[in-house]
């Protein structure tokens, strides 16, 4: 992964030696994404350890029913606390808000290490959810504001890659270590992020908003590696001035048509991503593979699945999204992802309900279908919603947008986890797979109307495009 990032940084700067440099922007994004690495580990923590904890009656004596709430209290905590972190992004800055993530992340690992009953584990998962709220509030905003369009298009997905890496690592570590040992092993990552990110600049957008001219110029010098940044500063200042001239109240957030259009697009992207199964499968990977009873163990299947998540996501970052565009990638991803989900639904229906048909010779289908889903998911559903969160909204309403979208994100994770467990317990795994497949099919058609194209545009150009589309529709109606 480091080799690919290094190669890509070289590719970004080739031919740019005498102008602004792009590698400092990539560096700030990569270091910021260390927070996403830990978030990924904590998000997927329940997958390898839920079953371990429920089976370890000597140390924990926790039922599968009680442990199933590990995946529910986590998003609930994110929903409750996300408003606080969105406000902090505007009051103390994107950088300082991200640094605060070390507190809930550290507490989550320590509580998991010390836990001897289900309530301490719940407290650990609540802290993990609080950390999620902090990261999703600040990191997409930070990435969108420190990067140029070219860097953002290539490195903007680094957050998702870091989360996949964390999810993969926690499954690998979980195969060899117990809950306590894993927690102690992961604590240093929290400290590493805090130390390195202290040396990164604040978002120049935030500095301009707060009237911190010297700090904004220093941030631009760091990010662009240019001595003369007056032109860049004036351009940024004018963009922020225009965007901040728009009222940023909650009323205007919902009443201004371009804001509503951006919000509708963002809510659709995040909701369709979750209703398509993206996060719920990652949070319950081992649970799904154990219920599938395939030819490969749940532990190995999970590592294969999440390892491919990571590899495919890096390939997508470098070669696919910026070439094909966000909109086309998302539409193709939704439509193609429905196919393996339908196959899995049929397979589990026959396996669990048609008892006179022996399909044991087809026990390779779950892992192959899940990998196929992963391939189709990787170049659209997995990356586009997060990438576009930092692109769609005007500076004046961005923190409010992040609040609404995090609530939506947490609710969708909560809902999809409950749907998975409820349908699985009533009619078997065929139920949830069919549900997610139908959602993908419906979302495919809606994407033609709700997903804009932002490839290659500055944040200001995206705002002007949204306003122009709204104005054009108004003229047509007249």
Contact 373, 337 (CB under 8 A): yes
Per-residue b or e along 111-143, where b marks 16 or more CB atoms closer than 10 Å to that residue's CB: bbbebeebeebbbbbbbbbbbbbbbbbbbbbbb
pLDDT at 440 (0 to 100): 96
Q: What number of H helices and E strands is found in the chain?
A: 27, 0
pLDDT in tens, the chain (478 residues): 443 444 454 444 444 444 778 889 999 999 999 999 999 999 888 878 887 888 877 778 788 778 878 888 888 898 888 889 988 988 999 999 999 999 999 999 999 999 888 899 999 999 999 998 899 889 988 988 888 877 876 777 788 888 888 888 888 888 888 899 999 999 999 999 999 999 999 999 899 988 888 998 898 889 888 878 888 888 888 877 776 666 567 777 888 888 888 899 999 999 999 999 988 887 777 777 776 666 666 666 666 776 776 676 666 665 666 677 888 989 999 999 999 999 999 999 998 888 788 777 888 888 888 888 888 888 888 888 887 877 788 777 877 888 888 889 888 988 998 898 889 888 888 999 999 999 999 999 999 999 988 877 777 777 777 777 655 555 445 5
Write out pLDDT tens, residues 304-333: 776 776 676 666 665 666 677 888 989 999
What are the DSSP calls for 394-436, one per residue?
Answer: -GGGHHHHHHHHHHHHHHHHHHHHHHHHHHHHHH-THHHHHHH
Q: Name the residue ranges covered by the structural domains of the chain.
A: 22-200+246-477
Q: What is the CATH number of domain 22-200+246-477?
A: 1.20.1250.20
The position carrying tokens 């792009």 is: 22
Listed residue (231, 207, 255, 233) closest to 395, CA to CA:
207
- DSSP SS3 for 458: coil
Cα 125 to Cα 67, 83, 119, 168, distances in angstroms: 11, 19, 10, 19
């Amino acid at each position: 992964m480091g080799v690919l990032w290094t190669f890509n940084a070289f590719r970004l700067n080739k031919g740019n030696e005498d102008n602004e440099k792009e590698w400092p922007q990539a560096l700030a994004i990569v270091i910021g994404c260390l927070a996403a690495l830990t978030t990924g580990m904590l998000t997927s923590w329940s997958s390898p350890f839920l079953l371990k904890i429920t089976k370890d009656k000597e140390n924990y004596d926790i039922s599968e029913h009680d442990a199933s709430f590990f995946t529910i209290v986590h998003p609930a905590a994110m929903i409750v606390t996300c408003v606080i972190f969105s406000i902090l992004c505007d009051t103390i800055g994107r950088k300082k808000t991200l640094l605060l993530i070390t507190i809930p992340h550290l507490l989550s690992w320590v509580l998991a290490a010390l836990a001897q009953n289900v309530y301490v584990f719940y407290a650990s998962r609540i802290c993990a959810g609080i950390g999620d709220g902090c990261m999703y509030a600040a990191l997409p905003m930070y990435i969108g504001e420190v990067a140029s369009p070219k860097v953002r298009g290539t490195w903007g997905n680094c957050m998702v890659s870091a989360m996949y890496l964390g999810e993969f690592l926690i499954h690998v570590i979980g195969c060899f270590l117990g809950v306590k040992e894993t927690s102690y092993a992961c604590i240093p990552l929290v400290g590493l992020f805090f130390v390195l990110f202290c040396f990164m600049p604040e978002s120049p957008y935030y500095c301009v908003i707060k009237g911190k001219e010297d700090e904004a110029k220093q941030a631009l010098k760091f990010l662009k590696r240019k001595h003369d940044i007056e032109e860049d500063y004036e351009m940024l200042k004018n963009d922020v001035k225009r965007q901040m001239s728009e009222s940023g109240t909650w009323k205007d957030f919902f009443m201004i048509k371009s804001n509503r259009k951006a919000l509708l697009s963002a809510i659709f992207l995040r909701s369709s991503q979750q209703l398509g199964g993206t996060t719920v499968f990652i949070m319950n990977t081992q649970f799904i593979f154990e219920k599938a009873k395939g030819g490969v163990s749940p532990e190995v299947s999970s590592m294969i699945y999440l390892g491919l998540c990571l590899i495919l996501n890096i390939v997508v970052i470098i070669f696919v999204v910026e070439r094909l565009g966000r909109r086309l990638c998302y539409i193709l991803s939704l439509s193609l992802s429905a196919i393996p989900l339908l196959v899995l639904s049929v397979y589990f229906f026959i396996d669990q309900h048609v008892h006179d048909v022996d399909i044991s010779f087809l026990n390779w289908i779950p892992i192959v279908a899940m990998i196929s889903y992963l391939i189709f998911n990787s170049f659209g559903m997995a990356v586009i919603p997060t990438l576009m969160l930092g692109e769609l909204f005007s500076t004046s309403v961005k923190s409010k947008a992040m609040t609404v979208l995090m609530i939506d994100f947490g609710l969708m994770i909560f809902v999809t986890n409950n749907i998975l467990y409820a349908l699985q317990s009533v009619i078997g795994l065929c139920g949830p797979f069919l549900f997610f497949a139908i959602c993908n099919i419906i979302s495919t058609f809606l994407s033609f109307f709700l997903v804009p194209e932002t490839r290659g545009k500055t944040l200001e150009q995206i705002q002007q495009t949204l306003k122009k589309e709204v104005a054009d529709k108004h003229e047509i109606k007249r």
